[in-house]
Amino acid sequence: MTFLEEEKQLEQEVEKLLDLLKNHESVQQFQAVRNRAENHPKLKELEAQIKAAQKDAVNFEHYGKPEAQRQAVAEINRLNKEYKSHPLVESYRQSLIEADELLQHVSTMIQKNVNRVIEGEEE
């Protein structure tokens, strides 16, 4: 088998692995939760409120209004807490962790097997 043939075969195997990963339950669940979170009206509203409060805090600092800046920072903290405790955000984080664990596991398996082949333990 030539180098180009081996490379093409390797690319095909990588594509198969990618398809398996894309169709894995944890990856599918993560993508579904991510899509719901990205399109959730309440979360979008909170994101807009956080950005507005951040702009206010920067402007208050620039214009030397420390009390107004403190209030804006307190509002940012309150909004961030509300955002982070939203059930959809919590679900997103959990599904991200699960999908990441799957990818880490697959990466570790590939690395171990490649190392064995390189070291001549397996052919």
What is the per-residue pLDDT across 32-57, written as a single tens digit (0 to 9) for each?
999 999 999 999 999 999 999 999 99
In a domain, 90, yes or no: yes
The verdict on residue 81 lying in a domain is yes
pTM for this model (two decimals)? 0.77
Range of the domain at 48: 37-102
Domain presence at residue 119? no
Q: What is the pLDDT of residues 78-98, one digit of tens each?
A: 999 999 999 999 999 999 999
The number of distinct structural domains making up the chain is 1
pLDDT (average), residues 99-103: 95
**What DSSP line would sit under the chain, residue for residue?**
--HHHHHHHHHHHHHHHHHHHHTSHHHHHHHHHHHHHHT-HHHHHHHHHHHHHHHHHHHHHHTT-HHHHHHHHHHHHHHHHHHHTSHHHHHHHHHHHHHHHHHHHHHHHHHHHHHHHHTTS--
Look at residue 84 and tell me if it is in a domain.
yes
* pLDDT at residue 122, as a whole number: 55
Q: Domain containing 78 — which CATH number?
A: 1.20.1500.10
